[in-house]
């Protein structure tokens, strides 16, 4: 398995990680046995970088990973996140809490659910606009000193927040949505990461599955699938985006790979400091994703992809407005 370094002097991890969110929530029915089999298969294939969060399934995703970590902890670079607080009476309602007391309590709760002594990479899931990030990261740094956490990360933070955080403690990774159809990090966060020696971890590098070419209609989504509420998957936006994916599929066919592999290869080609974490709960999809590591794109092919899919090509916002407001500067 190819490996990459998170940040300038950070840990070595598999060149592709595994996002585990969809195993517990947001993307249709859950199948624990299938998810556990996929987690074990990922480790068997050499994937070391597993990504979860305390909000996924309201803790259920961390508990799922604990069943694998019980016997294979040494094989895993374990990342989890805190910051989203959900209302048990209304799971779709959420707020952000980055207060120092909550940082410590959230970490202890994650350690209990994961049944581990140490978290390898602990992210602030979203920046709390009501709490100075220096206070939040200061509390996170305390977790490092206490031996509960090895490395710190931020998610969906902009360059200003990242620089303020790094002034308190080194930030090993910034995680943000990044793919052919979500190019926002190119407007500042990626450059800031490289300036500060912070690694970059793209989530949803397959455009929430859209870039695989498997999604054809709005009706393909289960009733509880979060994509039903995202503008890019609705109405005229969906029709326009399907045409983009069709053209990517034509290029993939000429390259003798799948559209998803081409999309992942494009993300990987944006820099050796980038470690994508495509999510899946199926072993066959995992194997397809890992095949992207063997897809080498020439400068001419990268230029053709850019012509098909420039930064502003996708129709519709990537998230509803209330979620976009949670992305910090």
- Is the predicted pLDDT of residue 130 greater than 70, yes or no? yes
Better pLDDT: 155 or 94: 155
pLDDT of residue 18: 98
Considering the candidates 27, 56, 122, 178, report the single residue annotated as catalytic. Answer: 56
Q: What is the dihedral of CA 133, 96, 22, 116, to 10 degrees?
A: 60
Query: What do you get for the CA distance between the two ends of the chain, in Å?
Result: 35
- Above 60 in pLDDT, residue 328? no
pLDDT, residue 223, reads 66
pLDDT at 325: 55
User: Alpha-carbon Rg of the chain, whole angstroms?
Assistant: 19
For 54, counting Cβ atoms within 10 Å of its Cβ (0-12 exposed, 13-18 middle, 19+ buried), the class is buried
56 belongs to the catalytic site: yes
Paired residues of 177 in beta bridges: 203
Mean per-residue pLDDT, 91-113: 93
**Helix ranges restricted to H, the chain:** 32-44, 60-72, 100-114, 133-145, 159-166, 189-196, 235-255, 259-268, 283-290, 299-308, 321-324
**For residue 307, with 0-12 CB atoms within 10 Å meaning exposed, 13-18 middle and 19 or more buried, which class applies?**
exposed
Q: Please, which pLDDT band fits residue 207 given cuts at 50, 70 and 90?
A: confident
| Rounded Cα gap, residues 13 and 305, in angstroms | 28
Give the residue from 60, 42, 44 showing the smallest Cα distance to 52: 60
Coil, strand, or helix at residue 117? coil
Q: State the pLDDT at residue 217.
A: 64
Helix 299-308 to helix 235-255 angle (10° resolution) is 160
Cα dihedral 94, 30, 176, 42 sign: positive
Q: Give the model's pLDDT for residue 326.
A: 56
Please, which residues bridge with residue 238 across strands?
none
Neighbours of 52 (CB within 10 A): 29
Closest CA to 79 of 49, 113, 110, 39: 49
103 and 139 in contact (C-beta within 8 Å)? yes
- pLDDT for res 233: 74
pTM: 0.90
| Distant-in-sequence, close-in-space partners of 50: CB < 8 Å, separation ≥ 6 | 17, 18, 20, 39, 42, 65, 76, 77, 78, 79
**DSSP secondary-structure letter at 75?**
G
Confidence of residue 320 (pLDDT cuts 50, 70, 90): low
User: Which helix (H) or strand (E) segment is 149 a member of?
Assistant: strand 149-155
* Predicted pLDDT of residue 94: 80
Tens-digit pLDDT profile for residues 224-280: 666 777 777 766 787 788 888 888 899 999 999 999 999 999 999 999 999 999 999
Higher pLDDT, 92 or 324: 92
Q: Which domains are assigned to the chain?
A: 3-207+270-293 (3.20.20.100)
Q: Which residue has the tokens 């069943």?
A: 67
Question: Whole-number mean pLDDT of the chain?
Answer: 91
Angle between helices 133-145 and 159-166 (to 10 degrees): 40
Q: What is the pLDDT of residue 119?
A: 98
Q: Nearest-5° angle of CA 173, CA 177, CA 178?
A: 95
Q: How confident is the model at residue 221 (pLDDT cuts 50, 70, 90)?
A: low
User: With the CA atoms of 31, 37, 43 and 47 taken in that order, what torsion angle do they form, in degrees rounded to the nearest 10?
Assistant: -40
Lowest average pLDDT, out of 93-102, 121-130, 292-301, 320-329, goes to 320-329
Is 70 exceeded by the pLDDT of residue 126?
Answer: yes
């Amino acid at each position: 398995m190819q490996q990459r370094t998170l940040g300038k002097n950070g840990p070595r991890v598999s060149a592709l990680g595994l996002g585990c969110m969809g195993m517990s929530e947001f993307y249709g029915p859950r199948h624990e046995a299938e998810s556990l089999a996929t987690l074990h298969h990922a480790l068997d294939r050499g994937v070391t970088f597993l990504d979860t969060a305390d909000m996924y399934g309201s803790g259920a995703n961390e508990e799922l990973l604990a069943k694998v970590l019980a016997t294979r902890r040494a094989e895993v670079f374990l990342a989890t996140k805190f910051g989203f607080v959900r209302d048990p009476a209304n799971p779709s309602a959420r707020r952000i809490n980055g207060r120092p007391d909550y940082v410590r309590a959230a970490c202890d709760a994650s350690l209990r659910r994961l049944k581990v002594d140490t978290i390898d990479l602990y992210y602030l899931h979203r920046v709390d606009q009501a709490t100075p990030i220096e206070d939040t990261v200061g509390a996170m740094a305390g977790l490092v000193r206490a031996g509960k956490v090895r490395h710190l990360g931020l998610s969906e933070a902009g360059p200003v927040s990242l620089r303020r955080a790094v002034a308190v403690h080194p930030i090993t990774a910034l995680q943000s949505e990044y793919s052919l159809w979500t190019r926002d990090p190119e407007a500042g966060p990626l450059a800031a990461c490289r300036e500060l020696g912070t690694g970059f971890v793209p989530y949803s590098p397959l455009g929430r599955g859209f870039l695989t070419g498997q999604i054809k209609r709005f009706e393909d989504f289960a009733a509880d699938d979060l994509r039903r509420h995202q503008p890019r998957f609705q109405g005229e936006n969906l029709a326009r985006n399907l045409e983009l994916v069709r053209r990517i599929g034509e290029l993939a066919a000429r390259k003798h790979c799948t559209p998803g592999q081409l999309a992942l290869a494009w993300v990987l080609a944006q820099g050796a400091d980038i470690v994508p974490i495509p999510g899946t709960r199926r072993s066959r999809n995992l194997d397809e994703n890992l095949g992207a590591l063997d897809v080498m794109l020439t400068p001419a092919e990268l230029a053709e992809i850019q012509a098909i899919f420039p930064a502003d090509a996708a129709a519709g916002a990537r998230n509803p407005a209330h979620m976009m407001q949670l992305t910090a500067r």
